[in-house]
Chain A
Amino acid sequence: MSAVNTAPSSAPILALSGVTRSFGPIEILHGVDFALRPGEIHALIGENGAGKSTTMKILGGYLDPTTGEVTCDGQSVRFVNSDAAEDKGIVMIHQEFNLAEDLAVDQNVFLGRELRRGWRLDHKAMRSRTADLLTRLQCRVDPAAKVNRISVPDKQMVEIAKALSRDLRVLIMDEPTAVLTERECEILFTQIERLRAEGVAILYTSHKLGEIKRICDRVTVLRDGTMVKSAPVADITEEQMAAAMVGRDLSDLYPAKPVAGPDTVLEVENLSVPGVVSGANLVLKRGEVLGIGGLIGAGRTELAEAIAGLRPRHGTVRLLGHDLPAGLVQAAVEAGLAYLTEDRKGAGLLLDKGLRENLTLPLLHKFGKIMIDRKAEEAALDKAISDFAIRAPQRSMRVGDLSGGNQQKLLLAKTLLSDPQVVIIDEPTRGIDIGTKQQIYALIADLAEQGRSVIVISSEMPELIGLASRVVVMHGGKIAGELEGDQVAEGAIVRLAMGLGEHQEEAVA
């Protein structure tokens, strides 16, 4: 692994020094120093929201730092855009590939920089050069194949070939293995090591700590926008990485945890969603706040959506003793189960409509028999605005013009309008300021206090620990374990979420 590791002494190609970045009034990165050296694989890890993507985007020329400096070959640079960075050989491969699916592989590799012969495209040259690049990557894809016909890891190889086609010096990879199977990962690792041997500087992010331990040379840990650790991988254990990622104090942001009642409200048995969730079992008590943890892509949202009838599923969901039919949202809502989506803007609210229309949308049949009773609607909005402390400058304004926090409160009001007994809240505080977070946490505790049962899905560990008296952790579409009472701690959740198996039996038992 560390065969050709000549790196540490050489000068960095690309570096950040004292970089901060603010979005509006909120500072996301607080003075990050970071360097990428030729022939070195540098891992950047941290929890969701720790500032990884922002750091990567600054390195890749997608964002400018607010203060601080980006240096390339020792010279201070300011990239106009990602193209300017790519001209310097700095290429970022996103989790979502940037490929035109309907074009052929070679057309993608030279997209925007097509080789010409006079005024005509030089198809032959592009095809043969693509073939050369793919051979270099030991990838057996036909350059003439359409991208939508090739496999996911092959697509990744095409992205890398695209990067190689311009003198590649720095490769930034955003969770490249998140979409790959184990075998596909192996192929990727071989290619990455080959690139390292060729002297490319590589930034690698992943939630899978085992991977980092295996292929990376150096690891830098971000927490809340601050660099908390940077060390050679050889000197740090996976547990230490996890500890560095989490390790923060819990303030009194969270209300007292409610005590769950004895009777079971929701039972999920052997629930599977083809390809994403397999054999999940859950039990929810009255007045309980149950947390579901795990990495993005572990199947948490899919599990919740399957329970709520938004996705096809196998297995049974029993609410207050009655079986809920699969794939019928209306039935679930009527039976008293509501789901609040993590995708507020894409699936939660109609951004071009007003507050009133959004609030009553799922429950219009309750507002008037044939004609909608607008007065009742207005009254419901009045109540929601006061109950949920929604701050809207104007009642008639478009919901898209509300702040994220107020949108989230409106979405909560909308979800709770049907007076559900069980509420599943997916990422309750994504993209929301700390003040609103606290309000939402108080609301969740209130719901449980009133005898309702709440499932909170969150990628933020402190949120799970602060809110839930019991946490179920998912990994790879399965329930990896369950933690209760004092067991609910960051280290334990992270270990289960990362698929570190040794605690699994203990936790299940």
Chain B
Amino acid sequence: MTMATAVKTQSQGRRLDLQVIGPIIALIALILIGMALNSNFLSYANITNVLARSAFIGIIAVGMTFVITAGGLDLSVGSMAAFVAGLMILVMNVLTDTMGVTLPVILLGIALALIAGVIAGLINGLLITKVGIEAFIVTLGTMGIYRSLITWLADGGTLSLGFEMRELYRPVYYGGIMGISWPIIAFVVIAILGEVVMRHTAFGRHCAAIGSNERVARYSSIAVLKVRLATYVLLGLLVGFAVVMYVPRLGSASASTGLLWELEAIAAVIIGGTLLKGGFGRIWGTVVGVLILSLIGNILNLTDFVSPYLNGAIQGVVIVLAVVLQRKSAADR
């Protein structure tokens, strides 16, 4: 019997290793392919471009990792981002009329984006925890609501920040320190904080416990509803933060802003090895997942080997493959 147990744990250890390094191997393979196909791939400009563009989805995906780890889901983040961006632009334009093109307007805009994100997350979370509606249904509903609201706010077109204000706000996306742009720095900081919270705090442990078995969590005197609510609020806050980084990039928001972000964020979380059914999550995996998804797009854009129109198809294959690998290891158990 001891023999059997030993063998079992051994094979488990090996599988765990593969699960751990799987996404990293895929990322390295992608980088090698990119290097082979285009000499510009590793250039400063390209790397900065890829990372800065991944930052929005990446910041959101960090929050999504907590939601999914606790056994939840949020489909509304893409629309939420668009709506918050539209709201922020509208308010900043109004404030510019009275306060002029000044820093306080930007600070107020940022505060508004963060608060709006928190409130949106709170609405999702309360409907899921207090009213007790399934997360899929709630966020499918709010997804439609926010998408429709931003279309209505923009009257079917585009909401743009005033030109001078755009110039003032621009450095938040394009500036940086020591050649590293702000969105990348923000993404790195949030990813590191997220990893620490997930692995080393009671909140992270509680999320995993709830996703693993909600009853056990409840019987272990964990405030299940509060923790679950907190994951949605955290995600909302991070959506607001992503918007703060996103608005200075184009200075506008429209009905197509943030389209499919929710799916990209969820895909990144899953590719990174977090279980869709909850119970186990890792932030660094999500970061790798985000990078894999954006590198696929980038490589296709840099080469004329495969049409960039096939980007979605290749991403889809990667997502399915990642889930198949997860399923396999679960079945072995």
Contact = CB atoms under 8 A, between A and B. Distances in A.
Nearest to A398: B12
Contacts of A371: 196, 200-201
Given A361-B205, A365-B202, A372-B205, A329 B196 contact: no
Interface in B179-209: 196, 200-202, 205-206, 208-209
Contact of A397 (B9, B212, B216): B9
A364 interface: yes
Given A371-B196, A372-B201, A393 B6 contact: yes
B15 interface: no
B68 to A, nearest CB: 16
B212 A352 contact: yes
Contact of A401 (B5, B201, B219): B5
A350 interface: yes
Interface stretch (A62-70, A91-99, A243-251, A340-348): A340-348
A361 B200 CA distance: 13
B57 to A, nearest CB: 28
A333 B221 contact: yes
Given A371-B201, A372-B201, A394-B9, A346 B215 contact: yes
A357 interface: yes
Contact of B216 (A330, A348, A401): A348
Contacts of B216: 346-350, 361
B219 A310 contact: yes
A398 B196 CA distance: 23
Contacts of B280: 352
A261 B218 CA distance: 33
A295 B223 CA distance: 32
A99 B217 CA distance: 30
Nearest to A357: B205
B149 interface: no
A349 B213 CA distance: 9
Contact of B221 (A329, A347, A348, A350): A329
A393 B2 contact: yes
Contact of B201 (A357, A370, A398): A370
A348 B279 contact: no
A361 B222 contact: yes
Considering residues A332, A348, A365, which has the most beta carbons from chain B within 10 angstroms of its beta carbon? A348
Interface residues on A, range: 20 to 34
Contacts of A229: none
A362 B222 contact: yes
B201 A361 contact: no
B202 A329 contact: no
A180 B113 CA distance: 57
A332 B220 CA distance: 11
B327 interface: no
Nearest to B210: A350
Contacts of A194: none
Contacts of B8: 401
Interface string A213-239: 000000000000000000000000000
Nearest to B205: A364
A348 B213 CA distance: 10
A353 interface: yes
Nearest to B200: A371
Contact of A393 (B5, B209, B217): B5
Contacts of A367: 202
Interface in A339-395: 339, 341, 343, 346-353, 357, 361-362, 364-365, 367, 370-372, 374, 393-394
Contact of A372 (B6, B202, B221): B202
Contact of B9 (A330, A353, A361, A393): A393
A469 to B, nearest CB: 28
Given A348-B219, A371-B196, A353 B212 contact: yes
Contacts of B218: 310, 329, 347
A401 B6 CA distance: 11
A83 to B, nearest CB: 25
B247 to A, nearest CB: 32
Given A352-B279, A393-B5, A361 B215 contact: no
Interface in B212-257: 212-213, 215-223
Interface in A7-55: none
B200 A372 contact: yes
Contacts of A346: 213, 215-216
B219 A330 contact: no
Contacts of B196: 371
A56 to B, nearest CB: 28
Interface of A: 310, 329-330, 332-333, 339, 341, 343, 346-353, 357, 361-362, 364-365, 367, 370-372, 374, 393-394, 397-398, 401, 414
30 contacts: A310-B219, A329-B219, A330-B221, A339-B219, A341-B219, A346-B213, A346-B215, A346-B216, A347-B213, A347-B218, A348-B219, A349-B216, A350-B212, A350-B213, A351-B213, A352-B279, A353-B208, A353-B209, A353-B212, A357-B209, A361-B209, A361-B222, A362-B220, A362-B221, A362-B222, A364-B206, A372-B201, A393-B6, A394-B9, A397-B9
Interface of B: 2, 5-6, 8-9, 12, 196, 200-202, 205-206, 208-209, 212-213, 215-223, 279-280
- 7 tightest A-B CB contacts, nearest first: A364-B202, A362-B220, A329-B221, A371-B200, A347-B215, A361-B220, A347-B219
